[in-house]
Amino acid sequence: MNHSFVTAALPFKAARADAVRQLLDGMGNPPQADIAARLNATNCIHFMSIHVPPSDSEDAYLIIDASVDGGSDTSVKQLAAALDKELRELIEAAHIDPYGKTIAGVLVRLTDFDVTVYDPDAKTLRSWVRNGDVPRIDVVDPLQAHIDQWTRWTDSDMHNVTAYLAGVK
């Protein structure tokens, strides 16, 4: 059987850290009996920790660490199913963008493997790993209408536009 170490670091605004820590305290350490029972029922988790380390910047991180049996993909799905309610509450309290929410910003990098966007509201870079078409990326180029014209215009059209622009004062 495979053994995996899974770590997720979810960034959020440090101003929300106390609210997230309060929820974590409510989950218990060790976890409350119902949470422990759900985690034990997965039969794959050896050790798990969820915490928000102290931060002296504007950003904080919700850190989820787990030592699990099996591959990380399967284990993460089992962990997410076992702690669905608690994870949703933590993500909501941290104001972390839920999957599927539209994020707008300046495109910094787009490859088949990842995407990086500068978020002007948060004044930070945000990156995601891509798996095929997930997450879906819609690039809006304000110059696209002009670029589309290049293939439609003939040499004569370009000559006429250039002559017109040369005559404009």
Position 98 scores a pLDDT of: 56
**Alpha-carbon gap, residue 102 to 91, rounded angstroms:** 16
pLDDT in tens, 50-68: 999 998 888 888 888 888 8
Position 20 scores a pLDDT of: 92
Position 101 scores a pLDDT of: 63
Residue type, 61: Y
**CB of 110 closer than 8 Å to CB of 62:** no
Closest CA to 48 of 84, 5, 10: 5
| CATH number given to 3-94 | 3.30.70
pLDDT in tens, 91-129: 888 877 655 566 777 888 888 888 888 877 778 888 777
Q: Which residue has the higher pLDDT, 26 or 139?
A: 26
**CB of 4 closer than 8 Å to CB of 68:** yes
Contacts of 132 (CB under 8 A, 6+ apart): none
Give the rounded percent of residues in the chain with a pLDDT score beyond 70: 92
Task: Give, for 161, the enclosing helix (H) or strand (E).
Answer: helix 155-167
Q: Which residues of the chain form CATH 3.30.70? A: 3-94
Task: Return left, alpha or beta for 74; rule: phi > 0 is left, psi -120 to 50 is alpha, else beta.
Answer: alpha
